[in-house]
Every structure is written in C-alpha cells, then in structure tokens.
Amino acid sequence: MIYRQPIRKIQESVNSMLELVFGVSLKNATDEQCYKAVALCVRDRMEKGRSEFIQLAEQTKTKHIYYLCMEFLLGRSLKNSLFNLGLEEDYRKALAGLNLNLDALYEQEPDAGLGNGGLGRLAACFLDAMASLGIPATGYSLRYEYGIFRQKLVDGWQTELPDFWLPGGKIWLRSEPEKSVEVRFNGRIDDYWNNGFHVVNHKDFTKVMAVPSDLYVPGIDGRGVSRLRLWAATSEDFDMSLFNGGDYLRAVEQKAMAETITKVLYPEDNHPEGKSLRLSQQYFLVSAAVQDIIRHHLFRNRTLDNLPDCIAIHLNDTHPVLAIPEMMRVMMDECGYGWDSAWEIVQNVFAYTNHTVMSEALECWGINLFRSRLPRIYQIVEEINRRFCAGMHNKGVDGYQVGRMAPWNDGFVKMANLAVASCHSVNGVSKLHSEILKDRVFHDFYTEMPEKFTNVTNGIAHRRWLCQANPGLAALLTELTGDGFVRDAAELEKLMKYKSDPAVLEKMAAVKRENKIRLAKYVKRENGADLDPDSIFDVQVKRLHEYKRQHLNALQILTDYLRLCENPEMEFTPRTYLFGAKAAPGYYFAKQIIRFIVDLGKTIDADERVNKKMKVVYLEDYRVTLAELLMPAADLSEQISLAGTEASGTGNMKFMINGAVTLGTLDGANVEIRDAVGEENMILFGMDAQEAEERKKAGYQPRAFAEKNPELQAALNAVEKGFCGVDFRDISNSLLSSDPYMVLADFDSYDKARHKSERLYRDADQWRSMCLVNTAKAGIFSADRAIREYAENIWHVKPVPEGKRHV
C-alpha cells in the first residue's frame, strides 16, 4: 500500500532538503537544486520502502535474485519513480504550490550513463518488473564515470565526447563506503597442502577497492523496490617517497590506473591495453558482486550449503561469466570448501542468458593475458576445463566435439562455453533465437545436455514505454478499457473490440499526430529541421551495426531519391526517415554508414525537386529520453536485420505498443510479433533464417543481384561517387564483394515492402486499424510476463506475499 503524504508535507520536505543539503531557500534555489531536492525526497522514500520489502522477504524466506550485467540503461529516474509509486500528481500539485513546474524539473535530470543498448535497457526493465511482481532483487554493475560516450556528428562523422552524467545523476546514488570490498589483480600464486588442508596464497598482487553506491527502482504501487548496486574503483596506493622526490606522476600512477576501471563503459579493445581494461572491468564487477553476495548470506546464515535455496544469480550475457570461477575461489580459498561441494552449489546457483548469435560477441580471452591479469582465476578455469573435458570423454563424446565445447581451447578462454558448461540453465531471448542456439551456436552442448536449454522471450517495462512515454494514448486506453493494463499488460487485449470503430480509430490517430508534433518541435530545436507531421514517420533507431542493416534502409532511400529525380511527378507519399544510433568508437565501417546517411540527407534536403516529399534526419546521441519521444511518434518501425542475426530486439516491442506498424524480416521477436498480430498487421519482407543460411552455404554472390536490377546498380554507383564531396566506395565495395549480411539479396523485397507501406498508409481506415491491433496485442511482450517465466522456470522463486508497505 502506498503511504501518501499530504501536499503540505511534500512541500515541507522539499524546502527542508533545499536548506539542509544545499544551504539555500526556495526563492534563491536554481532549477537544478530544486530537482535534486525533489530527487532526494523520493530517494528517501524508496530507501524506506526497500528496507521494509527486504525485511518481509527475509521473514517469509523468499529467494533473492541477483542480476549481473555490465550495463543498465536506466534513462531518467525521477519521472519513473514518481509514476510507479503513484505519487506523480501529488508532487505536481505540491510543487505547483511552490511555483515549481514538475516537467521543468524532469528536464534537469541527465540520462544515467550506465548503458548503451538493448542489453542494458532489458536489464533496467527487469529491475522494474521484479519490483512490480514482488520479487526481491539486486542488480550489479559498475558506476561508470563517463558512461559510453556522448555522440556529436561533425560533418556527418561520429565524434565521441565524454558523457558528464554524474553531476546531475549521482543524486540518486547512496554511497556505502563501509561495504567496500577488495579486488585483486596480477601477482603470483603459491598453493600447497598443510596438515590436510589446501592453502592458496596470492602474493605481490595489485589491490583495487570496490566502493558501492545504491540506486533504487520501485515497482508499480510500491509493491517492491529493486536495488541496483554500482561499484566504483579506487586505490589507496600513494607512494609518498616518490612524491617527495618530485616524481608526482608515478606517485599517483597506481591510483589513477585503478580508477580507470570504472571510467568508461566498453572501452575500445582493438589494442592490448583495451583488452586488458575490458577484462579488468569484468572481473572487478563479478569479484565485488560475489563477495558482497556471500557476505550478505553469511550475515544471516551459518553456512553456504543452503545458498541455492536462498539466492539465484543470473548472468546477463557473457560479460559477467567470470562470476563462476570467482565464486569457486571464494568458497574454496576463503570458506574452506572442497571442489566437489563448491561446484555443486555453484551449478545450482548460476543461470545464463545468451543475447547473440554473432561469433565476435561470444567473448574469448587470450590465455597469456588471462593468466597474467587473473592468476588464481586462471587456475580455477583450467581445472573447470580439465574436469569438464574428462567428463565428456568418459561419456564417450567425440574428441572434436569436446574440443568445440571446452571452456579453454586453442589458446583462449571461451566465456560462452564456460557459462554453458557451468550453469544449470541457458536461455535464449526469443523462440527463433533459442532454436538457433540449440541448432547452431551451442549444438554440441545441446546434444549432451538438452535439459539445460530453454527460452524466455524478452519484454519491456510497458509502464515506462506506454504509460509514461505516451500519456495521450494511455489516457485514451484508460477511457476505453479501464486502467487494468497498467498493472497487467494482458488487458490491452480489450482494445481489440474497437479495431473497426471509426470514432476510436480517429481518436488514436489524433493522439499519434500530437506525438508527431511533439517530436517535430524537439527536432526543430535540436537539429533545426522542419518535419511534416502528416508525412510517414519511418523510424530506425538502435545500435549501429552492419547486421542491423541501416545501410539497407539508406540504399532504398537513395533508390527512391533517384527515381524522384528522374520523375518528380511520380506518386509518392511524403516520408520522413528518422535514424538514431551510436557506432562503437573503433568500428570504422559503421561510422561510414552514419556519414553516408547524414550526407544523403543533406543532398536530399538541398534538392528542391524532392525535398517536399522526402526528408532524412539523423538524431544525435540516441538515448532513452530521446527514445521516449520517438517511439510514440513513429508510424513505421524498421526491424530489418538479416533473419537469424538479431537475438530478439526490444525496440520492436516498444514501437508496437505505441501503435507503430512493424516493417521487418522474420528475425528475433519479429516472428512472435507476427504470431501475435497476424501478417496482415505488419509488413514482412526478405528471406527467413533457414533461407538465409541455405543461401550462405550455397555460396552467396552479391554482385549477381546488382546486375539484374538496374535501379539498384544505379544506387550503388551513386554510393561509390558519394555525396557532399565524400565518396562511400568502402560501402559499395563491401556490398558488391562480400555483403556479409545479404543486403543486396533482400533489397528487392525490401523495396516492394517500403512501397506497400505507402499504399497501406494512404488507406487511413486500414492503417489505423493495423496500429490499434499492434497496441492491443503487445501485452505478451511485457517484462512482467518475462520475469514470471524466469521466476517459475529458472529461478524457482515465488513473490513476497502481499503485505502492507509504506513507501
């Protein structure tokens, strides 16, 4: 139950925070200070709610879920917290009485620099869902000082700038320095037997301190509160003799090197230093987390024997897989367990989600780096590998198959293999993806241990992506169906009875147009571009990667541009193409694609023959807050990855719930979207996963597709010549020579699908009905549903019984 403060009490709390924390009165306070004062009031309430929630969980012996992920893409916290706690209107009224505007205070908060893409956003959605369902949960990650990077486009080229998010964002973090733990790197290992006991001494190591800060994520109605514990690296090493001798840099070198670990998310790793830093980041996270988990458990229990009954640890992708050997280290070296008993506990505690079929994302670490940086963990991985391979050989498994499955082989530690060999559960994140894992990626494992493999299709925090991001649509849905969908997304299905109701369809279209106008105002302010809200808003926003095929989208835009140049009077529904994506700093080809899109947009904008019909806008620095504007305004959701390459996607679900029509391939969760809405309510094109695999095996020849399509060949020639004085022959050469993601093979089908979308959009009644069906059928893609499946099938946890909570 929510404990709602009177308006006067909220006002008194805000005034007190301003005076006590910032030393200013309300009349002298800046908007930033007012935002921080409100944030502190809300944070205090969540801390109390978390304490009460965990006490009830411990009284009822409810299993605690620990979720390890290198990133949590949270976005902003103030609006989400107030909405989920049911306090937004109370605070709006209270602040209005103080002559403060809550919406203006929202704008003072930066997006938390703790994530990059779908992996981190999924983790954030899951914290929300676990709290909403009453499942006690703690997420673990790193407190990145600069996040990933802030994207700035200079003459179309991506430039990376530091993301200074902490000055406005750390107000949500409660520092807990007394709970710091020590993480050890480098050194040498002496291990020996003494009076029947195995003794391990780690000598000459480098010590880095992990200092935790906690951030809270409330569930709907304050039923539960999840905690995200973030670790910052620091060192106490300071060589006074060097400093006094004038060697100031060397005196602080160790401290500076230690703190580098939590400076930036995903440092570039195309050089040895970058690889070492990434490995250090991953071990730093898991070592701090595992020590914290075990310390917390032993504070309330006398033994670790019951650990699997009390907790579950979930590894979100391969980045935190070193938690497995780290827990073995702590149990054996610090808690006195033998290998067999420790290993049984570890296997029962850990579960693993795979998020990719891309070989480059299945992390491997060179043995030399691994051994020198993590000598004790290297020993443990070596023993895990020895025992695993011996077990497989004893079962009569073919030697080549054992080699492919081995956690350590060919001079590399293979993190995905280590995860599958060690965890009791391995899941993919869409039905198609899970089948690909069994048939291709982990087929050798699946033949020997099929019971480990399962599927949990991803889901989204619908309260954020519908109720908060699209208040106009949420209000209309409440008017039509009641507000039950806020707590149970399955109730969106009630909307289906209106799919042929002209009055309702007109109201939904009006909401969409208002959202398009809202986005257009943002684009005008930030980009200086004028958008036509009556044009089709055709949106592709996600990470920039070849397999997501932003260049397929751009190539088709270019083809239509050339057609219009040749025949300006041809029938063409005005269209606004919106892109948003960051490329990894060292990913040159992806940066070239960004520049190609930007320069193509400039060329079209300068051409008076076509610029009233086409507009291409690349939105800088794509992030959660920008997505919250884009998703509700989109007419078309571009989900065009090569079938069999995208694990699931969650952007497709966010667009869908906001009434956008998916234009995509049968890849990832698009397959399940098709099953939910029917083919008539989305626009499909291209090969399916099996056809793509067969074409690849048969020897794909991309040039043949260009030669039989003169318009495609003309577009490729234009790419080679370039725009705005820049040629893009790297892109055209890649497409014509190797085309690893079969852009040219799917081009003709995509081109037809794009034009089909124009015809459908011109039929207003049919288009609006398609949009309604997409919203109505989106309930299955709620994160609440996904977490229920994890809880029932993998973690074996039941929610904390309903109880009275004062949040």
Distance CA 165, CA 111 (A): 7
The three-class DSSP label of residue 254 is helix
What single-letter amino acid sits at 780?
A: I
Burial of residue 616 (number of CB atoms within 10 Å: 0-12, 13-18, 19+) = buried
* Residue 495: closest CA among 769, 786, 764: 769
Asked whether the beta carbons of 795 and 129 are under 8 A apart, the reply is no
pLDDT the model gives residue 522: 98
- Identified catalytic residue from 138, 650, 662, 665: 650
pLDDT the model gives residue 127: 98
pLDDT at 397 over 60: yes
Asked whether the beta carbons of 66 and 313 are under 8 A apart, the reply is yes
Q: What are the structural domain ranges in the chain?
A: 462-789
pLDDT the model gives residue 248: 57
Confidence category of residue 572, pLDDT binned at 50, 70, 90: very high
The percent of residues above 70 in pLDDT, for the chain, comes to: 97
Q: Among 187-201, 346-360, 524-538, name the one with the lowest average pLDDT.
A: 187-201
- Identified catalytic residue from 319, 543, 613, 805: 543
User: Is 497 assigned a catalytic role?
Assistant: no
pLDDT the model gives residue 2: 55
Confidence category of residue 4, pLDDT binned at 50, 70, 90: confident
Residues 619-658 pLDDT 10s:
999 999 999 999 999 999 999 999 999 999 999 999 999 9
pLDDT at 806 over 50: no
pLDDT the model gives residue 674: 98
Give the residue-averaged pLDDT of 232-261. 75
Provide the 8-state DSSP code for 271. Answer: S
User: Is 433 assigned a catalytic role?
Assistant: no
pLDDT the model gives residue 805: 47
Q: Report which of residues 1 and 596 the model is more confident about.
A: 596
pLDDT the model gives residue 199: 80
Distance CA 193, CA 604 (A): 75
pLDDT at 38 over 70: yes
Q: What is the mean pLDDT of the chain?
A: 95
Asked whether the beta carbons of 784 and 132 are under 8 A apart, the reply is yes
pLDDT at 245 over 90: no
pLDDT at 720 over 70: yes
Residues 761-797 pLDDT 10s:
999 999 999 999 999 999 999 999 999 999 999 999 9
Angle between helices 764-776 and 743-762 (to 10 degrees): 110
Distance CA 534, CA 187 (A): 65
Residues 732-753 pLDDT 10s:
999 999 999 999 999 999 999 9
Distance CA 292, CA 414 (A): 26
Confidence category of residue 242, pLDDT binned at 50, 70, 90: low
pLDDT the model gives residue 253: 74
Handedness of CA 249, 254, 255, 259 (dihedral sign): positive
- Identified catalytic residue from 654, 768, 785, 805: 654
Q: Provide the CATH topology of domain 462-789.
A: Rossmann fold (3.40.50)
Distance CA 623, CA 121 (A): 10
User: Is 548 assigned a catalytic role?
Assistant: yes
pLDDT the model gives residue 239: 60
The percent of residues above 90 in pLDDT, for the chain, comes to: 92
User: Is 542 assigned a catalytic role?
Assistant: yes
User: Is 356 assigned a catalytic role?
Assistant: no
Q: And the tokens for 672?
A: 């399940």
- Identified catalytic residue from 355, 373, 438, 754: 355
Residues 452-476 pLDDT 10s:
999 999 999 999 999 999 999 999 9
User: Is 314 assigned a catalytic role?
Assistant: no
pLDDT at 238 over 90: no
Listed in sequence order, the residues at least 6 apart from 481 whose beta carbon sits closer than 8 Å to its beta carbon are 491, 492, 494, 495
* Residue 137: closest CA among 208, 206, 228, 214: 228
Give the residue-averaged pLDDT of 113-126. 96
Confidence category of residue 251, pLDDT binned at 50, 70, 90: low
